[in-house]
Structure 1
Amino acid sequence: MENRNFQMDTQWNIVYYPEKPTGFGILIIGDERHFVDESKSFWTQNEGKCTVLDQLKEKGYTIFSSNLFGRNWGSENAVELAGRLYQYIMRSEILNRKIHILAEGMGALVAIKLMEKMKESIRSVILLNPILSLKYHLEQEKEHKFFYKKLLRELTCAYQEDQKVLESTIFNLEDNINLDFGIPVKIIHVLAGGKSYNQSKQYQQILDSSKFNPTYILPEKKPQLGKICINFFTHHESIL
């Protein structure tokens, strides 16, 4: 069986099985384009992501992911479901209880909250082109009227709050990005003309610190992404 799709709290989830499992698991938290349905997922449909998926499976990783209510923007509902998915996977699969997380774009907002809530259960985290500050992301989009309105609609749907109240709440947030939970973190940026890596001043300080030492990849080097992830993950598997 290559993969298994199942529902939890109306959301589709998927487990990708390796031929020779090592007992280590990876939770993938996707970006804005991410989806999981009853038969497929973004990571099986997108050629580049499928290559990374295959490389991780060849290394023996059992990988799991969820639709997480679509464009969740780090909502508590998405964080709670990700935590429940972890518990379900631990009951149904034979895996080491400390998992890796691979989060992309918007998915980093969920990953950071999981790092805070589940730090004892997380082995290491890779953040790929992460959005770490919802406040800064909203401020950036304000320059683009159409996309700003679209983002506000998505946020209103994700957080189930009045649009004006939510907008005010986000803009009044402290831009306090905390990645220091005692969990190894690697930040990877694919330099493809996006602005996700050009974020707040505090985020720039994180990037400049030796602790997180980001990796930058040119678009033509994207096939190396799987290898970079594997090297980082395996480096943190010596202690079970």
Structure 2
Amino acid sequence: MDNRNFQLGNQWSTVYYPVKPSGFGVLILGDERHFVDEEASFWNQNAGKREILSNLREAGYTLFTSNLYGKHWGSPKAVLLAAMLYEIVMKNEILNPKIHILAEGMGALAALKLAEELKGKIRSIVLINPILSLKYHMEQEREHIFFYKKVLGEIAEAHEVDRGTVEREIKEESLPEFDFGAPIRIFHILTGGRAYKNARACKNLLSTLQQKPPITETYMLPEKAGQLGMEIARFMSRHEKVL
């Protein structure tokens, strides 16, 4: 797979090049297992993610991603680094300035904040099993106190505050407004109990929105996940009519 790895903000980043470039770019924001180092990334080592990468490269997309400090939980410094990555890629690659965002799990937290920062520069957003709100997510984790404490510690470390402060801020968190003018496609891959609970949490959150943006939810069984890359490419291509 043709790619270029480089460091930005002491974090490794990579650009994956298509076989026949279409001129459109996709920023990938990964979940808790996501990583990028000097030689590889989770998305080119994991079979399922590698297939999505392959499908999108075959569709002509230039894809780029960063390590983003590991388990970032949508932290301000991760969002800032993602914005810096966008600027660097735009300067060094021949791409349309309006990009697609592809995010999984906790990557959605950064994606929604970044879309607000880059308003007008986002063409579409695709979310896979997303965490849309720390508040909603931690309410689910309370059922399992061990995981709740573990995740709370990760969030506190990522946001560089103490546990008490982050717990208070999560309880007072306002819900995302999705006010950035880009269509959103959410894929729920129903792999087990946690995935079903997360899908319900997303649906409940979206039902609270007063002015609902163009959001489409799709539910997929694991055996159909092999079609995900092509489904994502088709969705993105529908939002490339206006350059």
User: 1:155 is matched with which residue?
Assistant: 155
Question: What does residue 122 of structure 2 align with?
Answer: 122
The aligned amino acid for 1:196 is N
Provide the C-alpha distance between the structure 2 equivalents of 1:120 and 1:144, rounded to a whole number of angstroms.
40
**Structure 1 residues 15-38: Cα deviation after superposition (integer angstroms, max 9, x where no partner):** 001121111100000011111111
For residues 84-141 of structure 1, the C-alpha deviation after alignment (integer angstroms, 9 at most, x for no partner) is 0000000111111110000111000001011111011111111111100101111211
In the TM superposition, what are the counterparts of 1:69-88 in structure 2 within 5 Å?
69-88=69-88
Q: Encode CA deviations 1:33-70: one digit per residue, 9 max, x unaligned.
A: 11111100000110011001001001111000001011
Counterpart in the other structure of 1:225: 228
Conservation of the 8 A alpha-carbon contact between 1:153 and 1:163: yes
CA contact (8 A) 1:74 1:110 kept: yes
- Higher mean Cα deviation, 161-170 or 65-74? 161-170
Following the alignment from structure 1 to structure 2, what is the Cα–Cα distance between the partners of residues 179 and 64? 23
**Are 1:214 and 2:214 counterparts?**
no
Check if 1:190 corresponds to 2:189.
Answer: yes
> Aligned residues: percent identity?
54
User: Is the 8 Å Cα contact of residues 12 and 38 (structure 1) preserved in structure 2?
Assistant: yes
Quote the RMSD (CA, aligned, Å).
1.5
**Partner residue of 1:202?**
205
Q: Distance in 2 between matches of 1:54 and 1:163?
A: 40
Distance 1:37 1:196 in 2: 29
1:61 aligns with: 61
1-side partners of 2:180 and 2:84: how far apart? 21
Say which SS state the counterpart of residue 179 (structure 2) adopts.
Answer: coil
CA offsets, 1:132-155, max 9 Å, x none? 010111121122121111111111
Whether contact under 8 Å (2:187, 2:219) holds in the other structure is yes
Mapped contact 1:105–1:196 kept (Cα < 8 A): no
How far residue 210 of structure 1 moved from its aligned partner, in angstroms, is 8.8
Instruction: Compute the TM-score of the two structures, normalised by the length of structure 2.
Output: 0.93
Distance 2:142 2:159 in 1: 19
User: Any conservation in 2 of the 1:26–1:99 contact (CA below 8 Å)?
Assistant: yes
In 2, are the aligned partners of 1:73 and 1:106 still within 8 Å (CA)?
yes
Q: Matched residues in 2 for 1:210 and 1:118: separation? A: 17
Between the aligned partners of 1:158 and 1:192, the Cα distance in structure 2 is 27
